[in-house]
Amino acid sequence: MIFGKRATFASIALFCASLTIAPAANAGQDAPATAAEQARQNSNLVVAAGLGSLAQVKEFLADGANVNATMNIVADDGVTPSMRNVTALMLASQTGRLEIVQTLLVAKADVSAKEGNGGTALMFASRFGHLEVAQALLAAKADVNARMNDGATALMLASQEGHPEVVQAFLAVKVELNAKRNDGATALILASQDNHLDVVRALIAAGADVNAKMSDGVTALMVSSWFGHLEIVQCLLAAGADLKAKRNDGATAYVAAMAGGHREIARLLKEAGAKD
C-alpha cells in the first residue's frame, strides 16, 4: 500500500564536495577570451555556488560568467540520480547559502529557471528547510505555485519534509493550499504521511481540505491511520475528516489502521463512529 512518493529531484550535496574549480586559461584577464573559456567560467560559477564559496562566486561573476548558466551533474555513487540543467542559484538555495543567493539575485539570476525534473531554486530551498533563502527568493518574485514535472509544489516539498516555518512563509503569500500532485497528493496528505504534526496543524488552520483524495482515493486520514500516526489522526478527526471515505478498492481509514496493526488508532476511529 503506497500512499505517496518523494519528489523526483535529488540532493546534490552528496557530491558537490567532489567537484573542483577548473583553472582559467586566461587568468588575470578581465573576461573569457574564447567560447571554451566562457563555458569553463560558467561551470566554475555553478560549482562555486554548490561549494559555498562566496568569494569565488563574486570572482567568476566579475570575470563574465553567465549567472544563469546551467550544468549537468552526474553522481558516481550509483544511487543519486543525475541532475540536468542545474543553476548556481539552485545549488546555493539547496545548501542554504543566503549570501550567495543574494549575490546571484543582484546579478539577475533567474528565479523561474527549472532543472530537468522541473525543480526551481525555491523548491530546493523548501525541501531542505532554508527559511531565509526561501524568503529571499519570494521577495525576488519566485513563483510559489510553480510545479515540478510530477506536479509537486514548494509547499508540498516543505510539508513532506517537515519544515513548518517554511510552510508558514508560504501560507503568508498566495499559495495554492490544496494543489495536487499528478497522483493527487496534497501538502496535507504528504505531511500526514510523514508524521509532521506542526505542519498538519498549520495547513488545517489555513483551511486545507482534510478530505482531499489522491487518484487512488487515499485521504490524509487513511494514510496517517495506515502508518500509525496517532496525533495526526486525532488532529484530522477534530478538523472533520470523513470516517466513511473509501479508497478506490473500498478500504477506509479503519481498514487501513487494522491492516497496519495500529489497534489504538482503530479503536479511536471506531469510537468516533467508523464501521468495520
The pLDDT tens digits of the residues spanning 71-80 come to 987 766 655 6
Helix (H, G, I), strand (E, B) or coil at 84: strand
What's residue 146's pLDDT? 98
Cβ neighbour number for residue 18 with a 10 Å cutoff = 9
212 vs 5 pLDDT, higher one:
212
What does the pLDDT read at residue 83?
A: 78
Compute the distance between CA of residue 177 and CA of residue 264 in angstroms, rounded to an integer.
31
Please report the pLDDT score of residue 275 as a whole number: 83
For the chain, give the percent of residues with pLDDT over 70.
85
- Give 261 or 25, the one with higher predicted confidence: 261
Domains of the chain: 9-138 (1.25.40.20)
Give me the residues paired with residue 6 across strands: none
pLDDT, greater one: 181 or 20: 181
Q: Quick: pLDDT tens for 3-35.
A: 444 544 454 544 454 455 555 555 445 555 688
Q: 211: buried, middle or exposed (CB in 10 Å: 19+, 13-18, 0-12)?
A: middle
Pick from 66, 139, 70, 67: which is nearest to 100 by CA? 67
* Beta carbons of 195 and 236 less than 8 angstroms apart: no
Question: What pLDDT was estimated at residue 7?
Answer: 45
Measured from the Cβ of residue 206, the count of other Cβ atoms closer than 10 Å reads 17
The CA R_g of the chain, rounded to the nearest whole Å, is 22
Name the pTM for this structure: 0.89
Rounded mean pLDDT, 103-119: 97
**70 SS3 class:** strand
- The label of the residue with cell 586559461 reads 25
CA distances, 176 to each of 14, 143, 145, 213 (Å): 31, 11, 6, 16
